[in-house]
Amino acid sequence: MENAWLIPLFPLLSFLVLLIAGRRLREASAYAGILLTLASLAMSVYMLAERFTKPTFKSESVWLTIGDLKLTAGFEVNQLNALMLVIVSLVSFLVHIYSRGYMHGDERFPVFYAYLGLFTFAMLGLVLSPNLLQTYIFWELVGLGSFLLIGFYFYKESAKHAAQKAFIMTRIGDVGLLIGMILLFWQTGSFEYDEIFASVKEGAVSETMITLTAILIFIGAVGKSGQFPLHTWLPDAMEGPTPVSALIHAATMVAAGVYLVAATFPLFAASETALMTVSVIGAFTAIFAASIGIVQKDIKRVLAYSTVSQLGYMMLALGSAGYVAGVFHLMTHAFFKALLFLAAGSVIHAVHTQDIEKMGGLWKKLRFTAPLFLIGTLAISGVPLFSGFFSKDEILVAAWVHGNKALFWLAVTAAFFTAFYMFRLFFMVFAGEARTHMKNVHESPGSMIFPMAVLGVLAIASGYINTPWFGTFLGDWLVEGNSALGHGHVEGPAWIMIVATLVSLSGILLAYLIYVKRSISRDWLISRAPLTYNVLRNKYYIDEFYGMTFVYGAKAVSLFLRFIETFLVEGLVKTVTVFVQTLGKTGSKIQSGQVQTYGAIAFVGLAVLMVIFALTGGYL
């Protein structure tokens, strides 16, 4: 495990090589990227395997000396990291392969692979970080990767705005994280996770401070994971190439927020308020995003809102002390959502549009993509036997057991919505007949199908490592040796599973009725509740609200400051200048050329001095 630090370096190498030699390699760049990511994947798998038998490994050295303070950098391999390493490198590897087909023919092909390398490096680095500072560093670099890839089609105005928005919105969260970690540092004297947890455990940090810092760190997570109210960037981020959406905005980076909360879980666990905040925000986001997802017409946006919603689920899990549930869902979600995105990419690749209104009847034309998409949809909808079913069940149980029944029912409702809109999507894309004329619809090349197939398998299989039926292997392993993380598996009432199944099936049924059988009008919502529809369609007008408040607010402040600048700062200078010049003008006017005036002034000067002297008697 002492070589774990090499894992992120492979993608970094890929980044550098492609940056320098990319122009010459052209599409061969893909091989460099794929091979190097494969190396990372191989090592990650090896680390994971090793971690089963060996204890946590941590290695650090001094990075920055500030007087007496020594800040360190290093890496740590524990259960959570090891798992994340595999997830990240696997998805990244698959996306690398996929992109070879998807990005074929793009003139900036090498750049794309370079950026992928950069992102993968940052994400792997983030996962390996043993302390908050390092986490923060990679946290931001991940954001950079995301920014670059969202803005990959830089010549599109929308891509530009999306990239900018993504960077800024996440940065707002990052500042929360920054403040939180600095406050923690001054409380505990360290950025190291284990030392912080130890201090918290000893009670060296006050209750309020724990709550405050935990919430601040959570703000960071909110930004990255697209939780309400910082979620608006994530749907816009779909401007990036689809493989990017799969890698960054579904499987890895957006999950980083969840990962962060998981990594600092002992801190959250020490404050009921903090947990409460996490769970409330999570649950709210889950239902909130799901409701928007119902009416979106862009295939990727639907998936994006579903991502937001699912991330809310994970937060809810963590907030309900369901550490294992959160991480478990993170993993399954990574697989099935990546699958969905890749499949969606494949669809877009085939039909060159993202508008689902224009699609339809693709089941027959895309013989590989369609079933794989269906697997993903089933998994996310929580249909039994698919991975999403198990992880979602785990979350519902955690929420129920933790005690907040309102949140539980919210989560159940969100599950219904999820099933509904996912199948709405599926049916609209694949079922029925094509709604517009589409030519040259063809199945994607093997390089794109293969990664989807792998993910399809995982979307089904990955659920079975932690089930109430066959054993909670993952859960037990994750919390091993760390009591602060709670129990590996939470026992809940069995009816929850039944309810969850029923809810998801009814969601599917409803979608079927509307979009396949057409027994319920598609325009039901539009005609019956146009207001609600418009609100949903416009994403609750949140973007507009931000536009009106923050953007205009900042502009207003700027204009106000410009006012100060012009009138106060410059005005002051102007006043002084004018004063001096007026003085000069007056002086030169007195200099009238009349010699008698000169003499008079000299005399007046003398007289004044003498009068002063005479009056003061020389006692000036």
Name the minimum Å distance from CB 589 to other proteins: 7
Instruction: Pick between residue 531 and residue 620 the one whose CB is nearest to other proteins.
Output: 620
Name the minimum Å distance from CB 144 to other proteins: 6
DSSP 445: P
Beta bridge partners of 69: 66
Please, how many CA atoms are within 13 Å of residue 49, restricted to the half-sphere of its CB?
6
Tokens of 120: 């993968």
d(CA 581, CA 567): 19
Give the end-to-end CA distance of the chain in Å, rounded to a whole number: 87
d(CA 318, CA 328): 11
Name the minimum Å distance from CB 197 to other proteins: 21
d(CA 589, CA 575): 21
Name the minimum Å distance from CB 87 to other proteins: 23
Instruction: Pick between residue 31 and residue 613 the one whose CB is nearest to other proteins.
Output: 613
Instruction: Pick between residue 521 and residue 594 the one whose CB is nearest to other proteins.
Output: 594
Contact predicate 82/47, CB 8 Å = yes
DSSP 237: G
Name the minimum Å distance from CB 111 to other proteins: 8
Instruction: Pick between residue 160 and residue 435 the one whose CB is nearest to other proteins.
Output: 160
Name the minimum Å distance from CB 203 to other proteins: 21
Which residues does 326 contact at the CB level (< 8 Å), separation at least 6? Answer: 258, 261, 262, 314, 315, 317, 318, 395
Instruction: Pick between residue 494 and residue 554 the one whose CB is nearest to other proteins.
Output: 554
Instruction: Pick between residue 52 and residue 186 the one whose CB is nearest to other proteins.
Output: 186
Contact predicate 231/285, CB 8 Å = yes
User: Cα separations (Å) of 44 from 83, 93, 250?
Assistant: 8, 12, 20
Name the minimum Å distance from CB 170 to other proteins: 9
Name the minimum Å distance from CB 17 to other proteins: 16
- Residue 499 CB coordination number (10 Å): 18
Instruction: Pick between residue 125 and residue 475 the one whose CB is nearest to other proteins.
Output: 125
Name the minimum Å distance from CB 463 to other proteins: 36
Contact predicate 142/123, CB 8 Å = yes
Contact predicate 478/324, CB 8 Å = yes
| Nearest Cα to Cα of residue 151 among 226, 254, 238 | 238
Q: Which residues of 583-620 are buried (b: 16+ CB within 10 A; e: fewer)?
A: eeeeeeeeeeeeeeeeeeeeeeeeeeeeeeeeeeeeee
Instruction: Pick between residue 494 and residue 573 the one whose CB is nearest to other proteins.
Output: 573
Instruction: Pick between residue 105 and residue 618 the one whose CB is nearest to other proteins.
Output: 618
